[in-house]
């Protein structure tokens, strides 16, 4: 079983001084956070993306896949350009597409595809194996005040209807 799946940490968030909601009380992996459920692992991913948006995005630095991946998987540690190309291909997002803040329910569809694509790369699994329900639950855990608005959007917009994560 892949490490990110075993740890319920699908984006392989590294251990730090952060005290994550939903982290297992006992952390046995020396490098990566271990969560109680996959939903909590995705909650951490949503919160990390929200932090990236707030800290690093501006008029001159838009919130795009290359901007996000450049921070998530920096050169020197990763083949960042290959990671970006893979995420763009898997997610169907454009490289210059300026994404909405992660907490904005209107942007959920696009960012959930980004998170799914990152899961594929981090865990080495195909896109159709990504647990989209856990991504959705992670969003709800991260942004509980937006639950009703997101549910309305998911029911009303054709963009969301029938999307199975593939």
pLDDT level of residue 163 (50, 70, 90 thresholds): very low
**Enclosing domain of residue 113:** 3-156
162 in a domain, yes or no?
A: no
61 in a domain, yes or no?
A: yes
pLDDT above 50 for 166: no
Number of domains in the chain: 1
Residues 159, 161, 104, 125: what is their CA dihedral angle, to the nearest 10 degrees? -90
End-to-end C-alpha distance for the chain, whole angstroms: 22
- Distance, in Å, from the CA atom of 37 to the CA atom of 35, rounded to the nearest integer, reads 5
pLDDT above 60 for 161: no
Is residue 40 within 8 Å of 23, Cβ to Cβ?
Answer: yes
pLDDT digits (tens, 9 = 90+) for 101-116: 999 998 999 999 999 9
165 in a domain, yes or no?
A: no
The DSSP call for residue 23 is: B
Largest Cα separation within the chain, whole Å, is: 44
pLDDT digits (tens, 9 = 90+) for 74-87: 998 899 999 999 99
Average pLDDT (7-18) is 96
163 in a domain, yes or no?
A: no
143 in a domain, yes or no?
A: yes
164 in a domain, yes or no?
A: no
pLDDT at res. 56? 86
114 in a domain, yes or no?
A: yes
- Distance, in Å, from the CA atom of 99 to the CA atom of 110, rounded to the nearest integer, reads 7
pLDDT at res. 26? 96
28 in a domain, yes or no?
A: yes
């Amino acid at each position: 079983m892949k490490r990110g799946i075993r740890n319920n940490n699908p984006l392989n968030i590294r251990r730090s001084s952060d005290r994550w909601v939903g982290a297992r009380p006992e952390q046995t992996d020396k490098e990566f956070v271990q969560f109680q459920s996959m939903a909590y692992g995705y909650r951490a991913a949503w919160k990390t993306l929200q932090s990236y948006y707030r800290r690093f995005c501006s008029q001159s630095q838009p919130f795009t896949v290359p901007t996000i991946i450049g921070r998530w998987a920096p050169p020197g540690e990763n083949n960042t350009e290959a990671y970006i190309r893979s995420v763009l291909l898997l997610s169907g997002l454009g490289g210059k597409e300026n994404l909405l803040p992660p907490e904005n329910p209107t942007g959920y569809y696009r960012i959930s595809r980004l998170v799914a694509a990152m899961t594929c790369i981090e865990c080495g699994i195909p896109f159709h194996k990504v647990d989209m329900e856990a991504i959705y639950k992670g969003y709800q855990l991260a942004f509980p005040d937006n639950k009703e608005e997101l549910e309305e959007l998911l029911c009303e917009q054709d963009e969301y209807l029938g999307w199975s994560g593939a």
